[in-house]
Amino acid sequence: DTGVSQDPRHKITKRGQNVTFRCDPISEHNRLYWYRQTLGQGPEFLTYFQNEAQLEKSRLLSDRFSAERPKGSFSTLEIQRTEQGDSAMYLCASSLPRTENEQFFGPGTRLTVL
């Protein structure tokens, strides 16, 4: 257990539905990251927050995706109008301010879109 928690751990939804995932980082970590991982692949960067500011969004993050970190603590990732191609593991990580600091990953949320 790294101290990063994610909820839910598994989500099954029908195509076209909206889903929201939550990430609670390690409390003193001000950097928070979202990654997506498909089967057999390494995690792919989606977006990054420093405190409450979203500083970068990958081109993988279409306009159906939105992430927030309203108080600089927990973060949510919402996917609207889900598609089958959204099926993946969504990972959250957090780290201290230095760029070299280890990113601690949560257990992930496994999304299956039927």
Partner 1 sequence: GESVGLHLPTLSVQEGDNSIINCAYSNSASDYFIWYKQESGKGPQFIIDIRSNMDKRQGQRVTVLLNKTVKHLSLQIAATQPGDSAVYFCAETDGTYKYIFGTGTRLKVLA
Q: Which residues bind partner 1 (CB under 8 A)?
A: 2, 4, 31, 33, 40-45, 48, 56, 91, 93, 95, 99-100, 102-108, 110
Q: Which CB, 63 or 100, lies closer to partner 1? A: 100
At residue 61, φ and ψ (nearest 5 deg) are -90, 95
**Minimum distance from residue 20 beta carbon to partner 1 (Å):** 19
**Minimum distance from residue 16 beta carbon to partner 1 (Å):** 27
Q: Which CB, 75 or 95, lies closer to partner 1? A: 95
Q: Which CB, 43 or 75, lies closer to partner 1? A: 43
